[in-house]
Structure 1
Amino acid sequence: MSGDENMSEQEKQLRDCFAKFDSNGDGKIQADEFKKLMSSLGGFSPKEIKRLFKEADTDCSNSVDWREFLSWILNGTALKGMGAKGAASFERLLNTETQDEASFVESAQMGHNVTEYLRQSGSKERKTRQRKRVAPKGGCDDLGVPSDWTGHRIQLPMTPEGARQLLDHFLHSGAKSPLHAKHVTHLITQFVSAYSVRHPKPVVYTDVPQPDGRLVIVGDTHGQLADVLHILYHLGPPSAQNRYLFNGDMVDRGGQGVEILLILYAFFLADPESIIVHRGNHENEDMNALHADNGGGFEDEVMEKYGLSVYRHFVSSFKVMSLASVINKEIFVVHGGLTRVKNLTIDYINTLPFQDYTAPHPMSSNVKEQLFSDLLWSDPTEHEGKYKSDRGVGIKYGPDVTTKFCSQNRLRFLVRSHQVPEDGRGFQKQHNDRCVTVFSASNYCGDGGNFGAVIVLSAANFPRYEVFEHFAAPLEEMPSIVAQGDSVDWNQTSTSQQRDSLEASRAARQEKTFARMIIAIIEKKPQLWSFIIRNSLGQKMPIDDFVQMMEAQIESDNPWKEALEGWGVIHDGQVEAASGLQTACLCMLLILRGHKVPKSMGCEERV
């Protein structure tokens, strides 16, 4: 039986299991349905059942839908949270062939398939693309790709020329002409094998290529293929003399994380001296499982393009990516930053079990796992000391922490990525220039309006470095720009692109901000009404009073006056309180129904 057919059978088993829980057939497992079936299995206390349901109910809706159930099973959370007796009972439930809750029969082949699927899976299935199987007209190549395949074919073995051809293919086709799934799987598995041998420890010791080479440090690119193309065509493709270090977060948010990773893997396989790949906090299946609007999206991207099997291969590749590098024994490069561990040394970082998982549990109390998370999640602050991070993972570390780390490890400075610099540039210097942030995704998420940047270290000028900032053109414009060859003025291209996108980026940011404010009004509407009544403010309020109320009751860092003008609820310098609150609710209804809300009109007009 083929892999795809196996997957289809396994999905059927899991859907049957879901149906056993969903006794009323409404497509969701309610708390009482979950409790009833789990109690009948044996091996679970009421407290355990309540905890397991809470783990499965990731959106806290007091019900578990199919996607939540599948995630709960496939990421190992289900069995991990059960005792031996309970896990055995639960596996019997997965293996049963009947709908009778108490009837557990032996089904050896079915049980083997599902159990192996659970044990091997390190990801969560959202959806499985159904493909028609078409018999090839001719034979197949060495990888099993049909001879009548009309898409791009990779070279075997991969060569520098083959990697450049792949780069050119994605330049001209973007994600519109994906590689065959067998080519993708081959590139990933070869990368995992070769990279894990080449860099078996968390920290890579590397040098700026001699005698006249350079090393380019690339920050977050987040699925924005246009930025990667801009960088590689401007500064040249990776090679032993033009080495690249990608400092994590190549995926999520943007829609071309697959293509970015395949480019990096191809160049590494062509020449292992040409590229180093770091892990960021988004090379992690838990982050990937989020929707793109919530910071994830890579799982959905891969599932849409190739399916679960390929996604699992990508997760395997995340596990071999390095955590940090030391350049010429003087510069430390890491995705997030420094850690809560006192007297941190490079040697201690090298003891981390970094290939055991993509990332440890964010709430782990294990010191090494906390250290692991800090390296990927932490941020610098201008205040001395170490503080809890607002992100919920990692820490904030001050100039004294950076100075101590560099001094103890005999380093000049550190380079990190992980966040857009506050001034909209692609880089930022902090901690007396000993902590440098580089972020390479320009116009982040399509509305950031920021520049991207890379840091270039040359053998001739080390340890001095250059910063190349850019603002990438849209993906569809990149081929015509690259076609200009040596006559391209990359700086002028970036300047004009940034200027042209300013208004569109501002409008997009404003739309997101207004939508967030509307949601906040709806959530706080009872408190707002109580405040108005309690303070006898009446139906009409001066603009400043209304704004002051909103800042006090909701949040002060929002453009309330601008929003009120856009919603059309200001008349003669007064805000009609009832109209203002009602408008927000109506606007939210339109947004939820997929309509854009023009900010120059009051919602009542359009409803």
Structure 2
Amino acid sequence: MGCGNSLKKGNTSEKENSDPVSTTHLLSSAAITEQPGDLMVRAALVIQNWYRRYRARLRARQHYALAIFQSIEYADEQGQMQLSNFFSFMLENYTKTNDEDSALVSRLFDNTRQESKDREDYLGLIDVPDSYDGPRLQFPLTFTDIVVLLQAFKQQQTLHAHYVLEVLFEARKVLKQMPNFSHVKTFPTKEITICGDLHGKLDDLMLIFYKNGLPSENNPYVFNGDFVDRGNNSMEILMILLVSFLVYPSDLHLNRGNHEDFMMNLRYGFTKEILQKYKIHGKKILQVLEEVYTWLPIGTIIDNEILVIHGGISESTDLNTLHQLQRNKMKSVLMPPMPVNQEVDVKRNKSGSANVEPGKVESDKLPSEQLTKHEWEQIVDILWSDPRGKKGCYPNTSRGGGCYFGPDVSSKVLSKFQLKMLIRSHECKPDGYEICHDGKVITVFSASNYYEEGSNRGAYIRLSYGTTPQFFQYQVTSTSCLDPLHKRVSAMELSAFRILKERMIARKTDLIDAFQLRDYSKSGKISLTQWAFSMENILGLNLPWRSLSSHLVSIDSNGSVDYMSSFDDIHIEKPMKDMNSNLIETMYRYRSDLKIIFNIIDSDHSGLISMDEFRTMWKLFNAHYKAHIDDSQIDELASTVDFNKDGNIDFNEFLRAFYVVHKYEKPKTPFS
């Protein structure tokens, strides 16, 4: 099933072995007089050594490409987490703004509040027509419904919105009865399977079920979060898992991951997927889904000795607190608790919109505020943290949320709560899993080909009482997976350097300023060390810049870097002819954050935002991010993209005007 299934350490059966290698030049003339057997042995050793160096170079290139993918992924998550600071900033400063600004802030938070949705009001309005030829579910659900769904999704059919909502409502009802941590027991004769991130990759889930069997009373599973986002089939995966959970609620366990979060879905694709697949009823599905997320358990404890959580722990992780807090009050990690002295009262006026009145407390109205700051931080830590080899607990600067925890922290927390092992996910690993902290911490990641075709294998774990974990690896097969290793690595490199170049062009002005600061002779050249330092200082990606330099910049025979060559093959198209470069880069750099804020304000998903709302939103954004863009420039830009001059902007089209053109690419037409 998977091209990675048969690969073991030292296996050299892959196609690159067939690459022609001439050994004639490798043998000295003196060797010709040796015995034929000796000559063959020497030739074999030379070829073997060459091949080992060849593979080592390919693996190094693959390692660098993966480092680029991961660094940029984490930098994006860091930007996402920083949105929580933006929302906090707005709440803390809205009283200093005028009425118009205050109204927009209140509207923003009004749209993020969650109220329990009524099943009858939703399902009663959605009929399944006779013409619908997709899968039909029968409630109460049975094993047959799992099979029906799997077969339908293999044929790329879409489940009707009526059934999607019915599954979500049923799941909410059952999840509400569950504790924060599911407790599971295994036996020597009854194993449990633990899967990590799937991220919308349906083929990986299908392959797991093919190799390991469907969920049942005798084949229990734990799915450890991040079912959705990034992949194209998040809805299909979510429906399979929830239907399986409803059939086997005691044998299929679903932990919340950091992507089971409506704010994360806005950036990483699941919201867009739902609105595309369910154009009419997508908004209803999103509203119910937001609440289902909040009721997902936050962890699983196996045999009272193995803790399974999505991210990790910190030195302050307290399982007693985590057992007792009201998990459904964590709407999103991006909406932190309000400071006590900034609590507000949200009241509705006659039109149904919200007004914010400072200084009044109505604690059940705003997201997450019923969790204390300590409780909120406890959940953020277990959803976002990563293990590292260095001792101690320190901020997770790569992701911007949670912490890095060392082996001493693992030992301390596990010992405190009489646990032996932590199994977590959250990080892509080349082999699908990784063991660290003296065997006390295991990472399992189940989405193969996560960054790019051939970038990594997926894995799952099987556990039974009193035995060591068993690891099973796989990789979904496609035609490119059968290519020689060098071709797969080259494709990965190309993709990795494209996204790295896009990160560089978004900071072009800042990078040039940093380069010129070190160009004392004004020659246009600096040393490689100076270039690498400037790149890291501005981009903050923690990459081996000296090793990557040959792919990114021109270096002369003296080792000096022509720093402007960093931008030779890429540029950002201008929506307006005389547009300020700093504004272009700022808009491009923060386009994802701006789109999330817009999508929250655009509560009816009309795709339109008024000019006044746009100006107010940008003013707040500009104040917090210190982008230093003149209001006049924003007004001019907004007027330019208000094509029909009706006072509204199609904000998604507006952001699409800022796009990167790589060398040799055919330029797009703006707004096409």
Taking the TM superposition and a 5 Å limit, the aligned residue runs for 1:12-411 are: 47-49=95-97, 53=101, 71-76=108-113, 144-173=127-156, 177-197=157-177, 199=178, 201-208=179-186, 210=187, 212-290=189-267, 296-306=268-278, 307-341=282-316, 344=318, 346-360=319-333, 364=337, 366-390=373-397, 391-411=399-419
Shift of 1:387: 1.3
Shift of 1:330: 1.6
Q: 1:71 to 1:167 in 2, by over 3 A?
A: farther
Q: Deviations over 1:353-385 (max 9, x none)?
A: 112233455655721221111111111122222
Q: 1:497 to 1:334 in 2, by over 3 A?
A: farther
Shift of 1:238: 0.7
Corresponding residue number in structure 2 for 1:531? 518
Corresponding residue number in structure 1 for 2:501? 514
2:435 to 429, 453, 461: 429
Q: 1:583 to 1:361 in 2, by over 3 A?
A: closer
Alpha-carbon distance between aligned partners in 2 of 1:341 and 1:503, rounded to the nearest angstrom: 44
Corresponding residue number in structure 1 for 2:641? none
**Is the contact between residue 473 and residue 497 of structure 1 (CA under 8 Å) also seen in structure 2?**
no
**Is the contact between residue 505 and residue 567 of structure 2 (CA under 8 Å) also seen in structure 1?**
no
Corresponding residue number in structure 1 for 2:8? none
**Is the contact between residue 449 and residue 505 of structure 1 (CA under 8 Å) also seen in structure 2?**
yes
Question: What SS does structure 1 have at the residue aligned with 2:97?
Answer: helix
Q: 1:444 to 1:75 in 2, by over 3 A?
A: same
Q: Deviations over 1:265-290 (max 9, x none)?
A: 11112222331000011111121122
Q: 1:450 to 1:382 in 2, by over 3 A?
A: same
Alpha-carbon distance between aligned partners in 2 of 1:463 and 1:589, rounded to the nearest angstrom: 61
Corresponding residue number in structure 1 for 2:663? 597
Shift of 1:442: 1.3
Corresponding residue number in structure 2 for 1:93? none
**Is the contact between residue 374 and residue 395 of structure 1 (CA under 8 Å) also seen in structure 2?**
yes
**Is the contact between residue 446 and residue 458 of structure 2 (CA under 8 Å) also seen in structure 1?**
yes
Shift of 1:321: 0.9
Corresponding residue number in structure 2 for 1:22? none
1:553 aligns to 2:534 (yes or no):
yes
Higher mean C-alpha displacement, 551-560 vs 177-186:
551-560
Corresponding residue number in structure 2 for 1:125? none
Alpha-carbon distance between aligned partners in 1 of 2:320 and 2:507, rounded to the nearest angstrom: 47
Q: 1:507 to 1:582 in 2, by over 3 A?
A: closer
**Is the contact between residue 334 and residue 415 of structure 1 (CA under 8 Å) also seen in structure 2?**
yes
Alpha-carbon distance between aligned partners in 2 of 1:204 and 1:282, rounded to the nearest angstrom: 20
TM-score (norm 1): 0.66
Corresponding residue number in structure 1 for 2:72? none
**Is the contact between residue 564 and residue 580 of structure 1 (CA under 8 Å) also seen in structure 2?**
no
Higher mean C-alpha displacement, 553-562 vs 376-385:
553-562
Q: 1:384 to 1:187 in 2, by over 3 A?
A: same
Alpha-carbon distance between aligned partners in 2 of 1:504 and 1:404, rounded to the nearest angstrom: 43
- Name which structure has the greater RCO, CA cutoff 8 Å, separation 6+: 2
Q: 1:578 to 1:440 in 2, by over 3 A?
A: closer
Shift of 1:398: 1.6
Q: Deviations over 1:42-82 (max 9, x none)?
A: xx99843279959969xxxxxxxxxxx97554114xxxxxx
Corresponding residue number in structure 2 for 1:101? none
Shift of 1:299: 1.5
Gaps of 5+ in 2: 1-91, 338-371, 537-541, 576-587, 589-657, 667-672
**Is the contact between residue 449 and residue 506 of structure 1 (CA under 8 Å) also seen in structure 2?**
no
Alpha-carbon distance between aligned partners in 2 of 1:286 and 1:594, rounded to the nearest angstrom: 25
Question: What SS does structure 2 have at the residue aligned with 1:441?
Answer: coil
Alpha-carbon distance between aligned partners in 1 of 2:176 and 2:115, rounded to the nearest angstrom: 22
Alpha-carbon distance between aligned partners in 1 of 2:200 and 2:249, rounded to the nearest angstrom: 23
Q: 1:369 to 1:141 in 2, by over 3 A?
A: closer
Question: What SS does structure 1 have at the residue aligned with 2:497?
Answer: helix
**Is the contact between residue 570 and residue 663 of structure 2 (CA under 8 Å) also seen in structure 1?**
no
Alpha-carbon distance between aligned partners in 2 of 1:192 and 1:336, rounded to the nearest angstrom: 23
The aligned amino acid for 1:149 is: Y
Higher mean C-alpha displacement, 252-261 vs 547-556:
547-556
Alpha-carbon distance between aligned partners in 1 of 2:411 and 2:489, rounded to the nearest angstrom: 38
TM-score (norm 2): 0.60
The aligned amino acid for 1:171 is: K
Gaps of 5+ in 1: 1-43, 58-68, 77-117, 123-139, 291-295, 478-492, 602-607
Q: 1:152 to 1:238 in 2, by over 3 A?
A: same
Q: Deviations over 1:471-507 (max 9, x none)?
A: 1235xx8xxxxxxxxxxxxxxx988898874443232
Shift of 1:247: 0.3
Q: 1:254 to 1:216 in 2, by over 3 A?
A: same
For this pair of structures, how many residues does the alignment match? 448
**Is the contact between residue 74 and residue 121 of structure 1 (CA under 8 Å) also seen in structure 2?**
no
Question: What SS does structure 1 have at the residue aligned with 2:139?
Answer: coil
2:469 to 462, 465, 468: 465
Alpha-carbon distance between aligned partners in 2 of 1:419 and 1:52, rounded to the nearest angstrom: 43
1:443 aligns to 2:420 (yes or no):
no
Corresponding residue number in structure 2 for 1:11? none
Alpha-carbon distance between aligned partners in 2 of 1:279 and 1:355, rounded to the nearest angstrom: 11
Corresponding residue number in structure 2 for 1:19? none
Alpha-carbon distance between aligned partners in 2 of 1:549 and 1:54, rounded to the nearest angstrom: 46
Alpha-carbon distance between aligned partners in 2 of 1:497 and 1:245, rounded to the nearest angstrom: 35
Q: Deviations over 1:512-547 (max 9, x none)?
A: 122223333343223323432xx11424x4xxx443
Alpha-carbon distance between aligned partners in 2 of 1:352 and 1:495, rounded to the nearest angstrom: 49
Q: 1:360 to 1:407 in 2, by over 3 A?
A: same
Question: What SS does structure 1 have at the residue aligned with 2:288?
Answer: helix
Alpha-carbon distance between aligned partners in 1 of 2:111 and 2:461, rounded to the nearest angstrom: 39
Shift of 1:445: 3.5
Corresponding residue number in structure 1 for 2:568? 583
